[in-house]
Amino acid sequence: MQITSTPIPKPPTDHGDGKLRKAAEQLETAFLAEMLKAAGVGKSRDHFGGGAGEDQFSSFLVQEQAAAMVRAGGVGLSEALYQSLKEKDK
């Protein structure tokens, strides 16, 4: 019986693509946060208002909601930016 091994493919080298992808995701996060703010997400409600504290920290909530949306796939903006910038980088 002869044992043969299949070579394990090496993962592609990064070449800075990780930084580029992260920057694209950060831009999509900022974009989505602004869209959520414009849609009224994070504004204090009249009937259950948390006062000044809620107003001060609502931007953190909106930012985290936008980041969660990007982690879940977002709207595709970061991928489009990444692909576009990757082509320009060559």
- Listed by start position, the domains of the chain span 17-43+51-89
21 within 8 A of 85, measured Cβ to Cβ: no
Q: How far apart are CA 24 and CA 82, in angstroms?
A: 6
Question: What's the pTM value of the predicted model, to 2 decimals?
Answer: 0.70
pLDDT per residue as tens digits for the range 26-80: 999 999 999 999 998 877 665 566 666 777 788 898 999 999 999 999 999 999 9
What is the per-residue pLDDT for 10? 44
Section 9-18 average pLDDT: 58
Q: Give residue 11's pLDDT band: very low, low, confident or very high (50, 70, 90).
A: very low
Query: Encoding tokens for residue 78?
Result: 């970061």
